[in-house]
Structures are given as structure tokens and as C-alpha cells.
């Protein structure tokens, strides 16, 4: 989440001025998933401005993001599903994701990111992407022994297990493709729907919503309604399998052309 550099800040800028500068320096939003584009990045921008005024470093913001995510997953695996638990889990994950956006924006505000900061950000992201699904697996194993919708307890556990695999492969493939593009030249990786909706950025953002981690965080509001949450979560999995298939085919073809 590191990137270009914001102009040097001088003479005690106000919170509003910092938010405006970050908005002007925001990385391109074309085809970014809708939640990330219209909710998470603006929220992260405000967190980054507040963190800057309080003298926090990007690594500290990354640490806060990791801690918030850990709190949400801790509630998920230790407390039986209930409406209030879903609210706590969702809120913690949503805030964790917002702080994840804020660390890169804060780095740009402070003059640019560092290799270590980018490394730390990717390590935390990789842990988060797999842990959220493994936490669902543990929660369902502990608390959802009865049949939920069309699945019995055992078959239900296959859903988060497969989701963990898909999420890990997608994140690794996208990150590796970016690195290979830097090595051999090319544009940064974007979502799989870009090729489908190149001339309709708003439509592309809406099409990639099921692939957006932020929307998954919001979906945990349904945690206290297992018969609703389970099929919604399964639909997220099916959408992510489709995005992964399209992405792998596209990235493989692109990298083959560079060989």
C-alpha cells in the first residue's frame, strides 16, 4: 500500500488540509472494488490524517490494524454466534481494514514508504486473508454442529477451508504478478474484472464487490443468523473462485508474453 509521495507538509497543517492533500494524492481508483473505492479508502484517509497529527508511524498503524483484526477473530472463535457478536466482529474487521488502508496513505504523507514497511504490510495482509477463513472454520466447528441450510455440520466446514485456499492463492498470485511486472515492465495488477469493464470503471467497481475483503467484513453482521450467514458466505466463495480462475488465466497469459 505504499506508493507515490505527497508534497511535503509544512507549518502545522490542519486535519482538514491533510485529508484534502491525501485525497489529491490518492492512487487511481479505476476498477477498484466498490467498498474499497468509496468506503475504505476515504475512511483510511481520515485515519491517516489523525495518525499523522498524533505522530504515529506507518508501522504503528499497521500494528493497530493487525490488533483490531485479531480482536475480531478472537470474538469469532471464542463466543457463540449472536447478533451482538456479529456487530463486534464486523466492526473490528472493518476498522482493521481501514487502518490497513491508512498505513500506506500515512507513509505517502510522511514522504514515501520503505521496503520494510511494504514487507510488513504484505505479511500482515497475508496472515489476515487466511486467518479470517480459518476463524470461520473454527467457529463453525465449535458452535454450528447442527445442520445449517443445505449442509450438515461436517460438509459446512469445507466452505471456509476452500475459501482459505482460494484467498491465499489469489493474494500470492496477485502479489507475485506485481513483482514480476516490476522486474520485466508492465502496469500494476488490478482486479480480474478490469478486462471485462475497461470502459466502465463504476460498473467494474460494482462487479468486483464479491471479491472485496471489506464487504466480507460487513457480512459478519449476519453472524448471529447462521441460516443466512452460511449461504451468503458460500456465495462469496463461489464468486472468489470465479475471480481467481479469470485472474490466473489472464496473468498467466500476460507473463507468457514477456518470456
The pLDDT tens digits along the chain (259 residues) read 444 555 554 567 899 999 988 888 766 555 578 888 889 999 999 999 999 999 999 999 999 999 999 999 999 999 999 999 999 999 999 999 999 999 999 998 888 778 999 999 999 999 999 999 999 999 999 987 655 655 666 889 999 999 999 999 999 999 999 999 888 876 555 544 444 334 446 777 777 878 899 999 999 999 999 989 999 999 999 999 999 999 999 999 999 987 6
| Contact present, 255 and 182 (Cβ < 8 Å) | no
**Integer distance in angstroms from the first to the last C-alpha of the chain?**
28
| Boundaries of every domain in the chain | 15-258
pLDDT for residue 72: 98
DSSP string, 9-71: P-S---HHHHHHHHHHTPPP-TT--HHIIIIIHHHHHHHHHHHHHTT--HHHHHHHHHHHHHH
Structure confidence at residue 9 (pLDDT): 45
For residue 94, count other CB atoms closer than 10 A to its CB: 21
- As a whole number of angstroms, the distance between CA 99 and CA 234 comes to 27
What's the predicted TM-score (pTM) here?
Answer: 0.86
C-alpha cell at 50: 489523525
Q: What is the pLDDT of residue 96?
A: 98
Fold of 15-258: 1.20.120
Q: Which three cell numbers stand for residue 62?
A: 499497521
pLDDT of residue 192: 45
Which pLDDT does position 154 carry in this prediction?
80
Amino acid at each position: 500500500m505504499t506508493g507515490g509521495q505527497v508534497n511535503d507538509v509544512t507549518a502545522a497543517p490542519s486535519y482538514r488540509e491533510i485529508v484534502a492533500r491525501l485525497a489529491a494524492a490518492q492512487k487511481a481508483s479505476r476498477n477498484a472494488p466498490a467498498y474499497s473505492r468509496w468506503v475504505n479508502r476515504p475512511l483510511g484517509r481520515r485515519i491517516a490524517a489523525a495518525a499523522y497529527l498524533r505522530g504515529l508511524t506507518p508501522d504503528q498503524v499497521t500494528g493497530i490494524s493487525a490488533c483490531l483484526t485479531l480482536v475480531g477473530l478472537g470474538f469469532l472463535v471464542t463466543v457463540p454466534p449472536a447478533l451482538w457478536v456479529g456487530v463486534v466482529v464486523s466492526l473490528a474487521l472493518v476498522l482493521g481494514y481501514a487502518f490497513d488502508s491508512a498505513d500506506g496513505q500515512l507513509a505517502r504523507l510522511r514522504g514515501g514508504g520503505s521496503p520494510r514497511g511494504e514487507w510488513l504490510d504484505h505479511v500482515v495482509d497475508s496472515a489476515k486473508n487466511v486467518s479470517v477463513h480459518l476463524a470461520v472454520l473454527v467457529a463453525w466447528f465449535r458452535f454450528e454442529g447442527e445442520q445449517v441450510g443445505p449442509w450438515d455440520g461436517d460438509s459446512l466446514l469445507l466452505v471456509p477451508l476452500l475459501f482459505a485456499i482460494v484467498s491465499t492463492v489469489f493474494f500470492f498470485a496477485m502479489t507475485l504478478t506485481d513483482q514480476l511486472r516490476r522486474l520485466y515492465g508492465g502496469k500494476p495488477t488490478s482486479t480480474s474484472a478490469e478486462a471485462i469493464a475497461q470502459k466502465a470503471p463504476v460498473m467494474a467497481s460494482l462487479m468486483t464487490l464479491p471479491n472485496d475483503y471489506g464487504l466480507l467484513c460487513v457480512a459478519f453482521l449476519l453472524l448471529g443468523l447462521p441460516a443466512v450467514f452460511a449461504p451468503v458466505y458460500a456465495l462469496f466463495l463461489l464468486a472468489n473462485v470465479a475471480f481467481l480462475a479469470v485472474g490466473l488465466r489472464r496473468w498467466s497469459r500476460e507473463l507468457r508474453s514477456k518470456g
